[in-house]
Structure 1
């Protein structure tokens, strides 16, 4: 998808599809009238401390479809699917101004820290309906994330 300047995010999705972290029911796409993919949001398994959560990444929207609600639609659909599946917590490393609209807050509020020092303000968490204060601790992203 042309949403990113290089192939890294598409390669990440391909690698995640082959990884144990892959949850096909939490991969959401938006298509246009020709059935071409114009947006994508992906949730994969993420270790947090001694428990499990979800990582939201990547989120991509084709340039000609940006600022038209496609990103919001695919992210909301993915989060709703995760909530319906009984998941407890979603973590994202991204722009706080963008992800706040979905209810994400600084991850530190939920005792979640990231593996990437210096990016604390970008690490955010969203507790879902089943959240009971766990998991908490340091995030360990699946191996494919080490390539981006």
Structure 2
């Protein structure tokens, strides 16, 4: 039995360890995701309601997801969106649908909070099942080079990214200029 709830301060150490463990063998990781989570919690981009944990009946944190504020910027305009980064699931809990539950609950809460879209960099075979499409379909790009199929976005509401073309601007905590 897994429960999804908002992360609390008492969870921070478990989430740190979980995130470090989840990314330790990832090929395309700088293995700094746990530090990114810490930095983002202290930033203006942090939305407490969108830092979620998956907890089992023994109060073990099995997974964590974080959505933070980003902008999509072009020459004339700037649009609010969210970044999904990172999502972590403990190895012994993987392939049980916990990541999916975290993503879907995060989408639900983000929509309730008035957000219209989410942008991520992730595995091209995993995220489309949730409705993510290539950001290039929306005229959105990243401030660095990634394979086109790994940059994805979802509209949480109908036309949530319509005419919102531009480059993703991450909070400074991501270390991307």
Is this a same-fold pair by TM over 0.5? yes
CA deviation profile, 1:3-47 (whole Å, cap 9, x unmatched):
121861111110000111001111111011221211011110011
For residues 63 and 146 of structure 2, the distance between their equivalents in structure 1, rounded to whole angstroms, comes to: 29
Most deviating of 127-136 and 81-90: 127-136
Mapping for residues 54-133 of structure 1, pairs under 5 Å: 54-129=82-157, 131=160, 133=162
Q: Unmatched 5+ residue regions in structure 1?
A: none
Larger Rg: 2
* Whole-angstrom distance in 1 between the partners of 2:108 and 2:55: 18
Q: 1:8 aligns with which of 5, 9, 32?
A: 32
* Structure 1 length-normalised TM: 0.92
Aligned length: 147
Q: Secondary structure at 1:92's aligned position in 2?
A: strand
Alpha-carbon shift at residue 119 of structure 1 (Å): 2.8
1:47-76: CA deviations, max 9, x gaps?
111111000000000000000111111111
Give structure 2 stretches of 5+ with no counterpart: 1-17, 26-30
Higher relative contact order, chain-length normalized (CA < 8 Å, sep 6+): 1
Paired with 1:77 and 1:66, the residues of 2 have a C-alpha distance of 17
Residue 53 in structure 1 maps to residue 98 in structure 2: no
1:120 to partner: Cα distance: 2.4
Cα RMSD (Å): 1.6
TM-score of the aligned structures, taking structure 2 as reference length: 0.78
